[in-house]
Structure 1
Amino acid sequence: MKFIQNPNLLETKLRDYHFEKIVDQEKQPPFTLQQYEKDEVILLEGVELEALLFLVEGKVKIASSVETGKSLLLRFVQPLSIIGDIELIRNVPVQSQVQAVNECLVIGLHVHYIKQHEMNNPKFLHTLLEHVSYKLQTCTIASRVNLLASAENKFASYLLSTASPEQTNDFGIELRTSSVKEIADLLGMTYRHLNRVIHSLAQKKIIERNKHSIRILNWHDLEKIANGIRFK
């Protein structure tokens, strides 16, 4: 992570995402602008929350650990998303691991400032309520997926949640051998089972697997297998 000292870029992002409707900007909140590289961990599960984070560029993966030491995928989030709202409200350590899927830009606002200046601000509290409610909805969906969906459903949903519709058939997801095991853990299946699913989808010409990547060939059929489920 690195802090970006660019007041013009910060002001642009604050304006683009209408932060005047979230916080009292007349008090000149001490916003920070932070950049995270692909696969970099933004928040570790169990640490104390220092700042509320607003995702303004990129995509982030949220996963939660289980007693076996593995992780379960909860959702992917894109701008504008708030990271740390539940922890702020409940005053608890970070509940899930937050990791950048690609290069991300985040606006931070320190928890101490928020508790002093924003917790009685109706606009701020309304924004938190909207985002927490949405997370409850997505966590409910994720629980249903992890418990009830088939392995093909889960993997198709993972690919579609990771991909962007505009990229169509040119999209290639890097899939190193280590990544396959990680994805299997996230989706609650074994490495071998996921490999069988990948092989099956490749035989059906829905995806194409090369040595280091997967390419989506048939978005329509992948959508049908996913059955409307998304991790977001």
Structure 2
Amino acid sequence: MNISQDKAEINKYLTQYRWDKMFTQETADSIQLCRYEAGEYIFRGGERRKWFFLYVEGRSKVYRVMENGEIMLVRFYRPFQLLGDLELFLESHNISSVKAISKVCCLRLPVELVKEEMKHNIPLLNHLARGLAEKLASFNTTAAVNQHYTMDIRLAAYLSMIYLEGDEYKESREEMETENLSEMADFLGCSYRHLTRTLESFKKDGLIEKKGRKIRILDPAALKKRSRDILLYED
């Protein structure tokens, strides 16, 4: 992780996401710019929360380690997100872990300063409440998708989301490392066997090529069509 207080870069992101007038000067002066490489943790579940984050660039995955030691993939994040909003209200340790899967940039502020702002800053409270409501709506939508859409549609949506960069498909074919398949199956609400059968079906249909731990997307347009545009696994 690289940390800086480059005011020009910080102000650029605050203005871009309309947070430039959200904080008092004291709080704004405490903002740090943090850059993460793929594979680095933004924070880990169970740790004491010290920072509140504005997630402004890159892609990451959110997961929880359950009491039995199993890992449950919860979500994928792209900008713009608030990280630590739930813990602000619950005053708890980090509930989930957030790990970068591309280069990621966040602005972070000390939690204690944000808590002080919440006592008198109504616009901030409104933004926090809206963010929590949007996350709840997103989780409800994902639950409905897992219950009512067939596995091939859900998997196509998942792979399309992984393949996307910005809002357009890359022109070149994309090769990606597969996630832990058990983790992926849990996220998609299916059995491990059902997932592997569906991947084989996609391979036979010419949508993907799978060699060992690598998946190559051969026909992103057809994959997107198969997904029926339900790209709902990402906030």
The TM-score by the shorter chain falls in which range? 0.7 to 0.9
Per mean C-alpha deviation after superposition, the further-off stretch among 11-20 and 45-54 is: 11-20
- 1:76-225, aligned counterparts within 5 Å? 76-147=76-147, 149-164=149-164, 165-168=167-170, 170-176=172-178, 179-211=180-212, 212-225=214-227
Alpha-carbon contact 2:160-2:220 (below 8 Å) kept: no
Structure 2 unmatched ranges of 5 or more: none
Q: How much has 1:229 moved relative to structure 2?
A: 4.7
What one-letter code is carried by the residue in structure 2 that aligns with 1:30?
Answer: S
Structure 1 unmatched ranges of 5 or more: none
- Sort the Cα spacing of 1:170 and 1:181 in 2 relative to 1 into closer, same or farther, 3 A: farther
Q: How much has 1:173 moved relative to structure 2?
A: 4.0
- Sort the Cα spacing of 1:160 and 1:24 in 2 relative to 1 into closer, same or farther, 3 A: farther
> What residue number does 1:59 align with?
59
Q: Deviations over 1:185-215 (max 9, x none)?
A: 5435455543322221011112233453321
TM-score by length of 2: 0.84
Between the aligned partners of 2:97 and 2:46, the Cα distance in structure 1 is 9
- Sort the Cα spacing of 1:71 and 1:157 in 2 relative to 1 into closer, same or farther, 3 A: farther
Q: How much has 1:183 moved relative to structure 2?
A: 2.9
Q: How much has 1:21 moved relative to structure 2?
A: 4.0
CA-atom RMSD in angstroms: 2.6
Q: Which runs of 4+ in 1 moved over 6 A?
A: none
Between the aligned partners of 1:162 and 1:27, the Cα distance in structure 2 is 35
> What residue number does 1:46 align with?
46
Between the aligned partners of 1:141 and 1:87, the Cα distance in structure 2 is 22
TM-score by length of 1: 0.85
Between the aligned partners of 2:210 and 2:194, the Cα distance in structure 1 is 16
**Identical positions, percent:** 25
